[in-house]
Amino acid sequence: MKILEVRTIPLALVRKRLMECQEKGFVVRSIARRTMELADMLSKCGQPEELYEKLLGLGLKDLTASMIVDIAPKTEEEVKILLGFEESMSDETVSKVLELVSTYCYKNP
C-alpha cells in the first residue's frame, strides 16, 4: 500500500468515512470509535463536506478549511484568526466565509 496524498480534513468528514467503513463490515475499534463519538458531540455542521468543498473553492488551504468547518466561527474576528494561515485575506473573503458557515452549519443554543 502506498500513501498518495496527505490532507487535513474536518472531524465530521473523518466520522463520515469511519461510518462508511463500519457499514461495509469493517470493525471500528478503540481510537476510531472514540473519534466517531467525539465528532458526534462536537460537529456543528449539518453539511460539512459541502462547506469544506466550498471553502476550498475560495482558494483556502485544506488546514484552514478544516478548522473553519470544525469550529464554525460566528464572528468576523473569529474568521480572521482562522484565516491567519492564509497568505491573503480580504474583507470579501471574511464575509463569504461567514455566509457559507451560516448556510451549512447550525448554531448551538
pLDDT above 90 for 9: no
In terms of DSSP H, where are the helices of 24-86? 30-42, 48-57, 62-71, 76-82
pLDDT above 50 for 108: no
| H or E, element range at 12 | helix 11-23
Tell me, yes or no, whether 85 and 60 share the same domain: yes
Tell me, yes or no, whether 33 and 53 share the same domain: no
- What pLDDT band is residue 95 in, cutting at 50, 70 and 90? very high
Render pLDDT for 35-92 as a digit per residue (tens, 0 to 9). Answer: 888 888 888 888 889 999 999 999 999 999 999 999 999 999 999 999 988 887 888 9
Tell me, yes or no, whether 91 and 60 share the same domain: yes
Tell me, yes or no, whether 26 and 59 share the same domain: no
The answer to whether residue 80 sits within a structural domain is yes
Range of the domain at 96: 48-104
The answer to whether residue 4 sits within a structural domain is no
- How many domains does one find in the chain? 2
- The reply to whether the predicted model has a pTM over 0.85 is no
